[in-house]
Amino acid sequence: MQQANWHSSCSVNSGVILLVEDHDIYREVVRAALGKYLPHFEMVEAGCVADALPLLHSHKIDVVVVDMTLPDGSAIDLVEQSGHFIEQGVKVIVLSSHSTADMLPVLSRRDVHAYVSKEQGLKKLAETITAVCSTEVPALKEQELALAQAL
């Protein structure tokens, strides 16, 4: 049987984003903003870990944007259950209203590529998506700087 998600091939200009956010209204706002900032990206959506996992299997996801706290688990639960896809190049961005200090355990994980606070805004999220899809990945440098400052 052929795997639906062979590898990630997002470019700075296009790809598929899996948005995992349990609050419907906020998810709609994020979808609209990313549609404006990243018009060449497609988006699929889920409201919880259980709904996100089948989408990883059925779509060629390039970037997962996941809220830290979900009704059936956390972003880390999703990451740990998505290891195969992350190994194949799927990038993970955690989106949360938690402080950077609270997010230190997440920021130190190798399978989380970036963190964006909801307070930073959706333009910052779009910039981070673009960054993790680029070859330079400046978002990782920002993440390392945030981690160092929080210590």
Name the residue with tokens 């018009």: 39
Whole-prediction pTM value? 0.80
* Domain spans, the chain: 15-150
Q: Which tokens hold the place of 37?
A: 């900032």
Q: What angle do CA 45, 47, 49 make, to 5 degrees?
A: 100
pLDDT, tens only, 6-61: 334 555 557 899 999 999 999 999 999 999 999 999 999 999 999 999 999 999 99
Could you tell me the pLDDT band of residue 104, with boundaries at 50, 70 and 90?
A: confident
Q: Give the C-alpha separation, 28 to 46, whole Å.
A: 11
pLDDT at 151: 52
Which tens digit of pLDDT belongs to each residue from 19-29?
Answer: 999 999 999 99
Of how many residues is the chain composed?
151
For every residue of 44-89, DSSP letters joined together read EEESSHHHHHHHHHHS--SEEEEESEETTEEHHHHHHHTHHHHHTT
CATH architecture assigned to 15-150: 3-Layer(aba) Sandwich (3.40)
